Structure 1
Amino acid sequence: MNTPIAFIIFKRPHTTEKVFEIIRQAKPPKLFVIADGPRSDRPDEAEKCEATRAIIEKVDWDCQVLKNYSSINLGCAKRVSSGLDWVFNNVEEAIILEDDCIPHPSFFPFCEELLEKYRHDTRIGSITGQNVQFGRERTNYSYYFSRYNHCWGWATWKRAWQYFDFQMQLWSEVKEKNLLEDILQSTEAVNYWHNILQSTYEGKIDSWALRWTLACWLQSSLCIISNLNLVSNVGFDQEGTHTLSKKSKFANIPAEEMSFPLKHPPFLLQNRQADIFTQRTLYSKPLIVSLKKKVKQMINVG
């Protein structure tokens, strides 16, 4: 393996250990570790953060380990985005994993091959191993193209990340000119994304991923999505930030093995059928409700 991995951790040593073991098998030459600090009002969190960071000390292969550890709690949006800024100030491309996303080992060569193939193709903004089609194979090829840039195990380039804007400075213009209509071409989708992006802009939702989605849309970037699910999110519990319900149908979807050589599609077009399904399942009103409940919980605890 030649591609650096960026590993985002916080306070969950039990899931971090599982992801770390898969990374250890892949043996990346360079490992960037991004860690948030404990919250001052959670007395047990400092110990959990320390136990999680201790796992990184188990690196036992030829690897340059670079650490970006925050002593204070920055929150999900600022910690991840500032951490990725740091990563892409150092390298041109990276594979990115969070501490609750366990990939199949074939996820790494899948990302690596496509990072190289589309390195200079600005139509592509990211690559992901997360597939939420629940067994529906949308293509006869190894992957398809989507307007949704899933982030449970993904990869991107510095050339794409440069457009990330934490402040969402163009959001006012997007609203004023109804640009979501042009992007999404669906009243249902426009209403959903307008509400959730507005809540993010107002600071009611602590998400870097929603800001990243908007940045990609504003560059007309597509995401490569594997035709099989290559990453299992095991973080659906009370320790999660946005993934609280163990009963979610998106929890613990098994990670499958990608076959090689990859079958590359001879065209580059959005798979609308897959995206409509994703919009109506993953991106639906219940998700907005759950995110708002989480924000209220955080406020009440504070």
Structure 2
Amino acid sequence: MNAPVLLFAYKRPVELKATLEALQANHLAPESDLYIFVDAPKKPADAAGVAQVHQLLDGVTGFKNIYRDYAKTNIGCADSIIRGISYILDRFPSAIIVEDDLITSPNFLDYMNQCLRQYEKDKNVYSISGYTFPFKQPADYAFETYFIPRHSPWGWATWADRWKSIDWEMSDYPTFERDQKQQKAFMQGGSDLVKMLRDQMEGRADAWDIRFCYNRFRANGISVYPAVSKVQNIGFGPEATHTNIYNRYKTHLDAGNKRVFNLAETPEITRYYHQQTLRKYSVPTRIFNKLKTYAGLR
């Protein structure tokens, strides 16, 4: 059985329409159940966008079964996603999650379901990413997946047992905040992770994914990524919640013809891809991209 697909939306009908069309074009869409979650307006100015999103989603077709959950009051970005995923993973062993600013390749669901089956018993694999940077694949690397110690929330999947292990209250964060050694270890997933976590814990951000990534780190977990991206993020711009910045995440989207993948069998950090990822999230690279943002590039 294919894993249920969760779609989270809010107030962006234009991006959502593109996301839906791409999901509907997936080979496995007619064989997959779609669960839709939409948060309620946070302020009056958001009401029109949310209403347009409802109208668009009311007419969705192309999936095995479709279920809709429209919140009556505003829950908030992070809590809305935590609530929806928790609801599904109380009822199913795994789930595939997509937000309303992602274009998926036609074989995205094939890749996700195959990875969910392949790595289900490898408990150190915490999540499956659909997105990857356009890294050049080494000639001697035959697999179509790699592993790094970093979670990606852009079109991803996980299992119920991993999700239920997350401490959303972050009870050991005060100890972590005083432990420079642990902070350095956490940044083996990227030099930006500690700052993102601090922003969340000190109220400057409303994010679930950095908490998921932190709990993955505490469990010595890793995430599996595709060698060729199955996701393109189109959510950069003035209406984006967290991404009104220069888009340094443009990638090469898989054409989507291949449906069976050569997955790496041993779930351990892939050195080449780990090094490439660390470069992408290095301080000099992030400074350079901030300068591009200040210059008005998107």
- Tell me if TM exceeds 0.5: yes
Amino acid at match of 1:150: S
The C-alpha deviation readout for 1:92-111, integer Å capped at 9, x for no partner, is 11111110111001111011
Q: Tell me: CA distance 1:146–1:171, structure 2 relative to 1, closer, same or farther (3 Å).
A: same
Match of 1:152 among 138, 151, 154: 154
Q: What's the TM-score, normalizing by structure 2?
A: 0.85
Deviation at 1:2, TM superposition (A): 2.3
CA distance in 2: counterparts of 1:284 and 1:215, whole angstroms: 23
Deviation at 1:219, TM superposition (A): 1.2
Amino acid at match of 1:97: V
CA distance in 1: counterparts of 2:263 and 2:175, whole angstroms: 37
The two structures, once aligned, show a CA RMSD in angstroms of 2.5
Deviation at 1:262, TM superposition (A): 1.4
**2:136 is paired with a residue of what secondary structure?**
coil
Q: Which residue of the partner structure matches residue 296 of structure 1?
A: none
**Gap regions ≥5 residues in structure 2:** 294-298
Quick one: percent identity of the two aligned structures?
A: 22
Q: Indicate if the aligned counterparts of 1:144 and 1:225 stay in contact, CA closer than 8 A.
A: yes
Q: Which residue of the partner structure matches residue 296 of structure 2?
A: none
Q: Which residue of the partner structure matches residue 262 of structure 2?
A: 263
Match of 1:141 among 137, 140, 143: 143
Q: Which residue of the partner structure matches residue 22 of structure 1?
A: 22
Q: Tell me: CA distance 1:62–1:181, structure 2 relative to 1, closer, same or farther (3 Å).
A: closer
- Within-5 A mapping of 1:91-110: 91-110=92-111
Q: Which residue of the partner structure matches residue 6 of structure 2?
A: 6
**2:135 is paired with a residue of what secondary structure?**
coil
Worse overlay, 214-223 or 171-180? 171-180
Alignment partner of 1:77 is 2:75: no
- Within-5 A mapping of 1:1-302: 2-25=2-25, 26-40=29-43, 42-43=44-45, 45-61=46-62, 63-132=64-133, 134-137=134-137, 139-177=141-179, 178-184=181-187, 189=191, 192-245=192-245, 247-251=246-250, 253-257=251-255, 259-282=258-281, 284=283, 286=286
**2:214 is paired with a residue of what secondary structure?**
helix
Q: Indicate if the aligned counterparts of 2:186 and 2:194 stay in contact, CA closer than 8 A.
A: no
**Gap regions ≥5 residues in structure 1:** 294-302
Deviation at 1:3, TM superposition (A): 2.1
**1:225 is paired with a residue of what secondary structure?**
strand
Q: Indicate if the aligned counterparts of 1:163 and 1:216 stay in contact, CA closer than 8 A.
A: no
Corresponding residue pairs, total: 282
Deviation at 1:127, TM superposition (A): 0.7
Q: Indicate if the aligned counterparts of 1:167 and 1:201 stay in contact, CA closer than 8 A.
A: no
Q: What's the TM-score, normalizing by structure 1?
A: 0.84
Q: Tell me: CA distance 1:105–1:284, structure 2 relative to 1, closer, same or farther (3 Å).
A: farther
Q: Tell me: CA distance 1:63–1:274, structure 2 relative to 1, closer, same or farther (3 Å).
A: same
CA distance in 2: counterparts of 1:272 and 1:255, whole angstroms: 23
The C-alpha deviation readout for 1:272-293, integer Å capped at 9, x for no partner, is 3323332332464848x97xx9
CA distance in 1: counterparts of 2:224 and 2:58, whole angstroms: 33
Deviation at 1:84, TM superposition (A): 1.3
Deviation at 1:260, TM superposition (A): 4.4
Deviation at 1:195, TM superposition (A): 2.6
Q: Tell me: CA distance 1:62–1:82, structure 2 relative to 1, closer, same or farther (3 Å).
A: closer
**1:66 is paired with a residue of what secondary structure?**
strand
Q: Indicate if the aligned counterparts of 1:146 and 1:271 stay in contact, CA closer than 8 A.
A: yes
Q: Indicate if the aligned counterparts of 2:193 and 2:210 stay in contact, CA closer than 8 A.
A: no
**1:27 is paired with a residue of what secondary structure?**
helix
Deviation at 1:120, TM superposition (A): 2.0
